[in-house]
Amino acid sequence: MPTALDRDDIIAGLRELIAELRAAGQVAGIRLAGGAALALRYFDRGTTQDLDSLHVRPGSDQEVAAAAARVAERHDWDPAWLNFEVTRADALPTLGREVVWEAIHDQDGILVQVASKEALLAMKLRANRPGRDTRDIRLLLGLCGVRTLEACEDFYEEFYPGDSLAPRAVSIVTAILAEGPLHVPDPPEPVEL
């Protein structure tokens, strides 16, 4: 049962997750990537099916997953609306340029962070799913000031040294750049969790 979560759903879900963790006396460091991070911090992107989270530090993945499952049950959402699959997908850059994280909530032992726009662009280029990632890549290229295919290839290799853009990513970026000047989207209102 896929769940379509818009920005308001993501914020409400995170607020309830934080309340669940506080009620259980838990500490948690939750790092978000993917569509949820984009929607929370960088631009309006419609909906996402889930929140891609890295393993919780400090705290417990199991405790966060259990609290997230309780939130999902109340809303009739997919139980994996917050999950740790991004770690298994080899998407997170670990060998090159360091991923920078921005705190959007830090209170009472619960920290929620989102990946930088640069790291999100690198991860979207790595995933390079036509249609699904194209708009995100277009807006992230504008936000990151990457204006040519060569600059994009150099940028990507900073995060994934020794790897080059996949042919599908090259096709996506080439098509985006051929459409004309890149747009820099307005950021959404700051999140209060």
Question: Which has more confidence, 68 or 95?
Answer: 68
pTM of the shown model: 0.94
Q: How many CA atoms lie within 13 A of 1 on its CB side?
A: 8
pLDDT of residue 114: 97
pLDDT tens-place string over residues 104-157: 999 999 999 999 999 999 999 999 998 889 999 999 999 999 999 999 999 999
Q: For residue 40, give its domain range.
A: 7-116
* pLDDT grade for 1, boundaries at 50, 70 and 90: low
**In this structure, what DSSP letter does residue 177 have?**
H
Q: Which pLDDT band, with edges at 50, 70 and 90, does 89 fall under?
A: low
Which among 116, 132, 162 is the end of a domain? 116
Structural domain total, the chain: 2
- The 3-class secondary structure across 94-128, one letter per residue, is CCCCCCCEEEEEEECCEEEEEECHHHHHHHHHHHC
Check whether residue 34 and residue 112 sit in a common domain.
yes
Residue 49's contacts (CB-CB under 8 Å, 6 or more residues apart) are 2, 3, 4, 5, 35, 78, 81
Please report whether residue 70 resides in a domain. Answer: yes
Residue 67 CB coordination number (10 Å): 23
Q: What percent of the chain has pLDDT over 90?
A: 86
pLDDT tens sequence across 21-40: 999 999 999 999 999 999 99
Residue 88, pLDDT score: 64
Number of residues that make up the chain: 193
- Which of 74, 96, 116 marks a domain boundary? 116
In a domain, 36, yes or no: yes
Q: What pLDDT band is residue 90 in, cutting at 50, 70 and 90?
A: low
CB 54 within 8 Å of CB 25: no
Residues 91 and 128 in one domain: no
